[in-house]
Structure 1
Amino acid sequence: MTDSYKIPTHTRIGHIHLKVANLERSLEFYRDLLGFEVTMLYGNQAAFISAGGYHHHIGLNTWHSKGSPRASKDGVGLYHTAILYPTRKDLALIYDRLRKSHYPLTGASDHGVSEALYLDDPDGNGIELYWDRPKELWPTNANGSLNMFTNVLDLDNLLKEIDDN
């Protein structure tokens, strides 16, 4: 299609729903480690979790995946779920929590517009934890287009957000 329809400006992704192999193991990650709140359990088959009282940002279920192997890195599917933190200090606090829990990162990047931590959940689903810099600080090129990049994130500098505030 080549018509000129554009999605409304204020449209947002409301939630994601993930197939998981073990609901309790997933809750230990999303609830206990990342700090999401459980808003509803659907027996022992599904859970709905949230940040800040929303009905749910993430659904977890075992309806078609109970006991299944981890997600394949080489197959089609979700690359990662991106979870936006409100401030750099919030990102530093979750990084410190992950570090102290010895939870492995798969990457840490400065993209110019944002800083991001990458990890996998227990089922191999990619997770990006990030914060956006203020829009007026986003890097642009001469014609005003975004000039995003991927540099290594200075994790020691990120941790200074906790010490400095």
Structure 2
Amino acid sequence: MPAPAPDPPPPPRSTGLFHTAILYPTRAALADALRRLGVAGIRLDGASDHGVSEALYLRDPDQNGVELYWDRPREQWPLTPDGGLAMMTAPLDLAGLLREPPLEQSEAS
């Protein structure tokens, strides 16, 4: 008996899962994830610098959104003149991220 066809994805702007987010402990760990995505031929949907974090966006095989990110240390978070948090969405410098030294095998697992 063949498997049933998968349901189509929900229409844009409807309810449902927006994305799953996976937090990496360091920028170097996120860089290693980016390298592995490249080796596997997985295309990014986007890459953003949010000031407080750097994030990679992609789709899983079922077309669910996946965010891979790391948080900058709090002392590096951008602040407004009155001391509030100044989050942003700017393009992530992927070449700069890839300049992070690769993790040792024991650190990556």
- TM-score range (shorter-chain normalised) is 0.7 to 0.9
TM-score by length of 1: 0.56
- Find out whether 1:129 has 2:68 as its counterpart: yes
Structure 1: segments with no counterpart, 5+ residues: 1-21, 23-64
CA distance in 2, matches of 1:71, 1:97: 29
Q: Decide whether the 8 Å contact of 1:70 with 1:122 is kept in 2.
A: no
Equivalent positions of 1:83-94 (< 5 A) are 83-94=22-33
Larger Rg belongs to: 1
1:115 is matched with 54
RMSD: 2.2
CA distance in 2, matches of 1:142, 1:158: 28
TM-score by length of 2: 0.83
CA distance in 1, matches of 2:92, 2:44: 12
Post-superposition, which runs of at least 4 consecutive aligned residues in structure 1 deviate over 4 A? none
The amino acid across from 1:136 in the alignment is: E
Q: Decide whether the 8 Å contact of 2:28 with 2:103 is kept in 1.
A: no
Match of 1:141 among 62, 66, 80: 80
Cα offsets for 1:4-47 (capped at 9, x unmatched): xxxxxxxxxxxxxxxxxx9xxxxxxxxxxxxxxxxxxxxxxxxx
Q: Decide whether the 8 Å contact of 1:71 with 1:124 is kept in 2.
A: no
Query: Which structure's relative contact order is higher, taking Cα pairs within 8 Å and 6+ residues apart?
Result: 2
Counterpart of 2:16 in 1: which secondary structure? Answer: coil
Structure 2: segments with no counterpart, 5+ residues: 105-109
Q: Percentage identity across aligned positions?
A: 54
